[in-house]
Amino acid sequence: MNIVFLGAPGSGKGTQSKKIEDFFKIVHISTGDIFRQAIKDSTSAGVLAKSFIDKGCLVPDEVTIKIVEERIEKDDCKKGFIFDGFPRTVPQAISYDSLHNNDSFKIDKVIYLKVDEEKLLDRIVNRRVCPKCGASYHMVIKPSKVEGICDLCGHELETRKDDNPESMKVRLEEYKKLTSPLIDYYSKINKLVTIDAMNDIEKVYESILEALK
Ligand code: AP5
Ligand code: MG
């Protein structure tokens, strides 16, 4: 089973992907995480991606498609995967589908996490992430047990560089202009499932499980 999580910044793609990864034992592939790792490693893709991500803009399609194609070749993708944040433009989706519509990498379902805009900003400014294991917290709704420390690995938590009101404004504009047309794209080919992601994390998770059954 190959799944896509589609949704605005802060809609819960990463949070729900981790839970679905644990349940179905299929690998979670976040293009945002891949880029952030590439930035840390100072690879050429990372250096290029940084100039876009810090401002809140999307990384060019050809760079993104290349890193996804490299990632799905790895052995851990054979049992299925969850794409978190890919495809994020119609050209990315067309390119991916034209390559994989008839192979085991074909996208089966697209879970669209629908959240009102005012909620997104609250989730983003309250998010803290673990740079070591990737766990994500919300300072009010899902705080770590010890403030500033990851429950899972004990590493210090940090704020993502693009989690500030200026970058968030650009991220939302990019989402509306370039990503939201994918709702129509996947709906037309009967792959889209819309989930009310305004609910709490567990309720959203239950709705997703229901949709995937
Ligand atoms: P990416 O890392 O994918 O960021 P994003 O799309 O902006 O989404 P976020 O990770 O901010 O939000 P999320 O939906 O994962 O929410 P989360 O679960 O953490 O991409 C970063 C950048 O990389 C992009 O801007 C772009 O530059 C580049 N990029 C990546 N992919 C690309 C692509 N395909 N093409 C081009 N460029 C690309 O939740 C957020 C917070 O809310 C957390 O604190 C969480 O605890 C809380 N929360 C979650 N669910 C709930 C709930 N139901 N109720 C209450 N709180 C909740
Ligand atoms: Mg995320």
Is 108 contained in some domain? Answer: yes
Q: Would you state the structure tokens that stand for residue 49, as one six-digit string?
A: 């991606």
Using the predicted structure, report yes or no on whether residue 109 has a pLDDT greater than 90.
yes
The pLDDT confidence band at residue 191, using thresholds 50, 70 and 90, is: very high
Share the mean pLDDT of the chain: 95
Using the predicted structure, report yes or no on whether residue 172 has a pLDDT greater than 90.
yes
Which residue in the list 36, 123, 127, 128 is annotated as catalytic? 127
Q: What is the domain range of residue 103?
A: 2-115+178-212
Q: Which ligand is closest to the CA of 115, given by its number? A: 1
Ligand 2 centroid, distance to 8 Cα (angstroms): 10
pLDDT at 134: 87
> Is there a catalytic annotation at residue 88?
yes
pLDDT at 213: 85
Is 30 contained in some domain? Answer: yes
CA-to-CA separations, 36 to 39, 46, 117, 163, 184, in angstroms, rounded:
5, 7, 25, 13, 29
Whichever domain contains 83, its CATH number is 3.40.50.300
Is 70 contained in some domain? Answer: yes
Q: Which ligand is closest to the CA of 18, given by its number? A: 1
- For 118-130, write each residue's pLDDT tens digit: 899 999 999 999 9
- The pTM score is 0.95
Which residue in the list 13, 36, 123, 128 is annotated as catalytic? 13
Is 172 contained in some domain? Answer: no
Mean pLDDT in residue range 80-90? 98
Is 76 contained in some domain? Answer: yes
The kind and range of the H/E element at 81 are strand 81-84
Is 171 contained in some domain? Answer: no
Domain count, the chain: 1
Whether residue 27 has its Cβ less than 6 Å from ligand 1:
no
Using the predicted structure, report yes or no on whether residue 33 has a pLDDT greater than 90.
yes
| Cα torsion angle, 196, 148, 163, 15, sign | negative
The kind and range of the H/E element at 138 are strand 136-138
Per this entry, what is the length of the chain? 213
